Structure 1
Amino acid sequence: MDFVEGAKDTLDDDILVHASIADVLAMKEKTFVDLWGAKSAFHNGLVNAPVTEAFESDSDSDGLDLTEEEKQFHAAEIAKTERDRGRGMAKDKRLSVSKFLRNAFLPLAPSRWVESESVRLDYKVWELDTFNHYAPIDANVYHLLASLTEAEMTLCQDKALGEDTDLIKGPYPIGTEAMAPPMVGHFDHTKCSASGSQLQIRSFCATRAPDVISELKRIWNVGRPFLKCRCVEEGKEDCKTSITWFDHVLWYLLANLEYLYLIAPSLRARIRAMRNFLKRTWRAPILTSVVFTHMRTIMTQMAENVVLDLNRRRETIHDDPVVMARKFPRRMAALILPDKYIRSPARRRKGKEVDNRPAKRQSNTLLKYYVRPGMANEAQNEQQAAAQQLHGSVSPNESSKGNAAMDTPHSSSVTVQSAQGSSVVGRQLRRSPRATTARTNLFSV
C-alpha cells in the first residue's frame, strides 16, 4: 500500500535523479581523484558549484495569486526545464568525452536508476558508463529467486564481514561442467564465443594497475563473482577478452528467459524452470552474490562518508564500530584510504613543517694544502731529522737545508672561514721558528 500511495513522490524523485545523477557522481568521483592524487583529465575540469533551493532575487509568483491549476502547470514547466537541461548537459558530455575517457568508477548510483538505464540498454548493465555498477538485485531478491534459508543468509553476512570469498561449500555443483554457465559471447559480442565460461571471484590480492586511476577503479569489486572464458584452460589461443560480472549476466538472463528456455510453452513455465535452475544448479554463485551484496553495502557507506567528510580516517570511515571490528571492513578501509597515496593530517602537518625549515648553512672550516709527490719518503726523513735536532746532533745549518727542501709551495694556502660564516679568507702560511715541527705534524703519514 505504501508503494501505491508514494508512487507520485517516487516518480518525482526519479525525475530529479535522472536529471542530476551524472553531475552528482562526477563530483563525488572528483573527491576521490583529488584525495588519491590521480590524473583524470575529465575530473580535473570539474568545479563544485553549490546549488540553492531558490534565488532570493527572483520571485516565481510575481506578486500574483496563482490558481491550483496554474501552480501545477508552473511546477511541471520547471521540472521539464531541469530535465531538458540535464539531458542537454549529458549529451554534450557524451559528445566531448568518450566512455573510456570519462573514467567513471564510483558505484553510488541508486538501483532504480541502474534498472531504468539497463532497460534502455536492453538489460545490458555492462554497457553503462562504468563497469562497477551492480545489477539491481539485492539480497532479498536472491533470497526469493533461489529459495535461500535464513541460516544461509546469516552465513553469507558472516562471510562478508570475515573477508571469506570462497564459494560456500555444500551439496551444490561448483564445477564448471556441472554449473553450466552460459557462453557470454552469445549475447555480448565483445566477449569470447570460442569457449565456455567459468566462474571466478575477484580476490583481494595487490592490484597491478598501470596508474593510480586504474587502481581506483578496481578496488570496488573485491569479492565479486564473475564469468571468464576458458580459452587458456582448454589450450586455445588467449582471446584477451575482458570478464563479465555474474550479476550482470543474471540480470540479462532474467529479462531474456528465452535464451535458456526457448522451447518452453509459456512465460510461466520459463519462470518456474529458471527458479529451479537457480535453486539447484546456480545456488553456489547465488550465495556468493549475496556475500558480495553485503560487501558492496559496506563499501558504499564508506565511500559516502569520505565524500561528506575528507577528515575521515580508517578507524572512523564507517559509523558502526562493531562492523569496523571485523576483518573485511578494516581491509576495505585500507583499500579506500591507502597509505601510499593518502597521508594522515598529522603526517601532512609534519611534512609541511619540515619543508618550511630554512636550509642549513655550511659552517665547516676547509683546509687545503699542497702534497708533493713522494711525500711519504720525505716525511720519513723529516722525522729522523727532527729526532736528531732534539738530541743536538745536527747543526743549525744542516737543519736549514732540510727546511728549505721542505718549504710549503706558494700555491698552498689555508682557507679560513670567519665566525659569521659569510666570508672566506685565503692566506699563505708564514714561516715560524717552529716550522719544522709544524710541517712534521702536517705532512706526517
Structure 2
Amino acid sequence: MTLRNNAGQISASERTDTFSDSYTSSIALTPAELEYFKRKEVLRRDNAHFDISTIASDTTHKFGKNNPFLPLASSTWTENVVQRVHNRLWKLDTFNYTPPISVDAYMALPGLSSADIENCRTAARNGTIHFPAGRVGFDADFPPLSKLEKEKYPRKPLLHQKGIPRFPAGLLELKKLWNAGRPFLKCACTSCEVNFTWLDHMLWYVIDNFDKLDPQAPSDKIRMLEFQALLCTSWRKPILTQITFLFMKEYMMKIVHLITQNKAITAEEILNLEDFKDVSFVRKFTATLLPNAEGLLT
C-alpha cells in the first residue's frame, strides 16, 4: 500500500474496474475475444469480494506456528501478507500484528514536533496509560467501525488503551501482554468484543480506502484533506498515544529477543542492562512476563 505526496494519489487494493467499454471497443476485439474478456472480468470482480476468512488461515508468520502470541513478524512480512486480506489487519491469524507505520511516519501525518515525540518516549518509559480501558473512552470523532466492515457496530467508537496485566493467569492472558499500552477503538457496549479494533489497524485501512472515511465526498483529494484535518485536530491525541505504544513495544521486543536467546536469563539481569535501568515500564513488563518476578513490583 502506498500513500503518495499528491492528494488523492493512493493505491486501491479493492478496485474492481479496469478498462472502459470505449477502450475495449477501440482495440477491435473479435466477438469471441470480447466474450472471453467480459467473462474473465466477471470472474475477477467476483473474486475481489470473496469471503476473506477462506485465506486468513494461510497468513501465519513462521514465528507464529507454535507461538502465535509472539509479535516477531517484520514490517516487510506484515506489509506483504496484509495485502491478501485487503489491508484488514484484524483478519490475520493473530491480533498482535502492527501495520508497518514508523514513528517518523506517524510524526509526519499530523505534523508533530520533536518535543511531542520526546514526551511520548517519556510516557513509554513511565508506562503511562492515558486512556485506561476501565474508564469512559475518549471521543475523537472516529468513523463507525461498520465503515471498515459491515458486520461491525454502526455507532462511533471510543478510544481506550490496553493496560499491563498484573499477573497473567494463563496463556490467554499472556497473549494480551504484547499489546500493553496499545490504543484501541470500541463501541460503548460493555460486552461487545466484535466491535474491538486496534487504532493502527483502522488507520492503515483508511489510508488505503479513503472512500470509507467519507463516501459522500466528491473526490479522493477532498477525502485526503479531511483525513489530514482529523490527524491535526481530534485524532492528534490518539496518534500521540499510538507513538507511545510503539516505544513501549521497542522495549518489549528487546526483552523478547533477550529471552529467546537466553531462556535462563533472570529479571535482575534484564533490569541491570544499560537500556533498561530506571525504566518503569520495563520493570512492570518483566515482572509480569517472567515467573517468580512479582517482587519487582513491591
TM norm. shorter chain > 0.5: yes
**Structure 1 CA distance for aligned equivalents of residues 87 and 125 of structure 2:** 31
- 1:158 — aligned with what? 122
C-alpha distance in 2 between matches for 1:239 and 1:326 = 35
CA distance in 2, matches of 1:165, 1:282: 17
Q: Name the CA distance, whole Å, in 2 between partners of 1:190 and 1:253.
A: 17
Between the aligned partners of 2:261 and 2:271, the Cα distance in structure 1 is: 12
- Counterpart among 195, 203, 221 of residue 163 in structure 2: 203
Amino acid paired to 1:278: L
Instruction: Measure, in 2, the Cα distance between the counterparts of 1:260 and 1:327.
Output: 38
| 1:203 shift after superposition | 1.5
Q: Deviations over 1:354-391 (max 9, x none)?
A: xxxxxxxxxxxxxxxxxxxxxxxxxxxxxxxxxxxxxx
Deviation at 1:22, TM superposition (A): 3.4
**Which residue of the partner structure matches residue 280 of structure 1?**
233
TM-score, structure 1 normalization:
0.48
User: Is the contact made by 1:315 and 1:324 (CA closer than 8 Å) also made in structure 2?
Assistant: no
Relative to structure 1, the CA distance from residue 277 to residue 119 in structure 2 (aligned partners, 3 Å threshold; closer, same or farther) is same
Residue-by-residue CA offset, 1:244-296 (whole Å, 9 max, x unaligned): 11111111111111111334444333223211211111001000000000001
Q: Which residue of 2 aligns with 1:249?
A: 202
Within the candidate set 182, 202, 227, 2:143 is matched to: 182
Q: 1:104-183 maps to which residues of 2 (within 5 A)?
A: 104-166=68-130, 175-176=138-139, 179-183=140-144
How does 1:60-99 map onto structure 2 within 5 Å?
none
User: How far apart are the structure 1 equivalents of 2:127 and 2:180?
Assistant: 10
Distance in structure 1 (CA, Å) of the matches to 2:272 and 2:223: 44
Q: Which residue number in structure 2 is paired with residue 226 of structure 1? A: 184
Q: State the AA in 2 paired with 1:22.
A: H
Greater length-normalized contact order (CA 8 Å, ≥ 6 residues apart): 2
> Which residue of the partner structure matches residue 252 of structure 2?
299
CA RMSD of aligned residues (A): 2.6
Seen in structure 2, the aligned counterparts of structure 1 residues 239 and 163 have a Cα distance that, compared at 3 Å, is closer
Aligned residue type for 2:112? L
Counting only pairs closer than 5 Å after superposition, residues 404-443 of structure 1 correspond to structure 2 as none
Deviation at 1:205, TM superposition (A): 4.4
Using the TM superposition, give the Cα deviation of residue 175 of structure 1 relative to its aligned residue in structure 2, in angstroms: 4.4
CA deviation map 1:122-142 (0-9, x unaligned):
110011111011121121111
Q: What is the count of residue pairs matched by the alignment?
A: 232
Alignment partner of 1:314 is 2:278: no
- For residues 201-227 of structure 1, the C-alpha deviation after alignment (integer angstroms, 9 at most, x for no partner) is 111243675xx2202211111111111
User: Computing the radius of gyration over CA atoms, which structure comes out larger, 1 or 2?
Assistant: 1
Distance 1:258 1:183, change over 3 A: same
- Please, which runs of 5 or more residues in structure 2 have no aligned partner? 1-58, 132-136
Change (3 A) 1:208 1:320: closer
Q: Secondary structure at the match of 2:185?
A: strand
Match of 1:38 in 2: none
Match of residue 37 from structure 2: none
Structure 2 residue aligned with 1:428: none
Quote the offset at 1:243 in angstroms.
1.8
Percent of aligned positions that are identical: 31
What stretches of structure 1 move > 4 A for 4+ residues in a row?
none
Deviation at 1:309, TM superposition (A): 1.1
> 1:311 and 1:340 mapped to 2: Cα distance?
13
Q: Is 1:22 paired with 2:61?
A: yes
